Structure 1
């Protein structure tokens, strides 16, 4: 019974990924291409504009995945990944600073549930927890940044944990975005494969961690 549930769950995950890919090739692709064209309209300043937009993204509540794919379309997988990592790290730092400036008294009164548990874990072993949470999507990206800002974690631990931890996922989105430019079915298939692989591995790790928690 447990095995059947596992097969069903992975089947649903794969179906969801396929639907998302199809969606990105139709409606989402149109939106992403518009964003890419707008970014590239700044010419030589395009990379700077892109990184600035990504940095303030948490304040705009704009979906990071769409912006990452647009980065891959605009700059290719390599430079798109570099610019996105810089921008995403900048956005995380901005959220961290905003949370820290707002004051811990607010958090102590209102921060409950997952936020409270996450905050406690961040205070115990800062760098490794941030690195883990960035690689394995247990919590929302911005929630981690705000929680870290409200905790006692050192800024350097948060910064480097974020910088290193977001690289695999960022590359996956940018590679997927850059593959749409080529239009080559083989390149797109490879990009989809890489995207699925880098999406499934964190889920496997997360499930393993949750199983250990249940056993304990």
Structure 2
């Protein structure tokens, strides 16, 4: 393996190494609602005393969780709602998740896009052509539907050549609804923890929440439908 290849793979290697260290040392135990329950008085007092610094620290920590694809990132948005309230917590979470996803996107594009193009050949050309015409709508759809792994949705647009600016905007818009849902769960987290219970993060799959998200996802695909209808030859 030459130096050029090693340099290209270095960002991905760093992200994977961070995930490996996290799992190897069992650090997920320090990012749990149980740990939050034990330290919530200290955390809330610190946030109240250092609002701006607390917000920046939360964004940085959350962005790192997403960048390293840590399996505890799902608890971060409820914690944001608990510490900062529904709307501020959702906003900070959306910013942080977007920043973390940018790191994964850039690492994947830098490391694998050339290799992917060389191996996929004509198949990739067809995928790129179909994706490129409506990349914003496709990504917005993938972000809005809460069944696709977040890390996978970070990588696929990078391999298909989506421009960074459009990726960032679609990502930010697409994760805002779920961020609001989870932050609202976090806003009531104090009472839940006081009862010794765990928050229900599966709430996003309840029909009264899932249906509006699916409706937004369907709207995101309308430009794709219109584009295809325009390209059909008239009889």
TM-score range, shorter chain: 0.5 to 0.7
Query: SS in structure 2 opposite 1:137?
Result: coil
Per-residue CA deviations over 1:29-48 (Å, capped at 9, x if unaligned) read 32344686676547341110
Deviates more, 1:39-48 or 1:162-171: 39-48
State the distance in 2 between where 1:35 and 1:116 align: 52
State the distance in 1 between where 2:77 and 2:112 align: 31
Backbone CA RMSD of aligned residues: 3.8
User: Residues 165 and 206 from structure 1, CA distance in 2 versus in 1: closer, same or farther, beyond 3 angstroms?
Assistant: closer
1:198 aligned onto 2:209: yes
Report the Cα offset of residue 169 of structure 1.
Answer: 0.4
**1:55-70 equivalences in 2 (<5 Å):** 55-62=63-70, 63-70=72-79
**1:1-216 equivalences in 2 (<5 Å):** 29-33=33-37, 41=46, 43-44=50-51, 45-62=53-70, 63-108=72-117, 122-182=131-191, 196=206, 197-202=208-213
State the distance in 2 between where 1:164 and 1:56 align: 20
- Alpha-carbon contact 2:66-2:97 (below 8 Å) kept: no
TM-score after normalising by structure 2: 0.60
Report the Cα offset of residue 199 of structure 1.
Answer: 3.3
Report the Cα offset of residue 99 of structure 1.
Answer: 1.2
State the distance in 1 between where 2:125 and 2:42 align: 40
Per-residue CA deviations over 1:27-77 (Å, capped at 9, x if unaligned) read x53234468667654734111011011112134332322111111111110
State the distance in 2 between where 1:30 and 1:117 align: 48
State the distance in 1 between where 2:158 and 2:178 align: 22
TM-score after normalising by structure 1: 0.64
State the distance in 1 between where 2:86 and 2:126 align: 35
Deviates more, 1:51-60 or 1:100-109: 100-109
Greater Rg by CA: 2
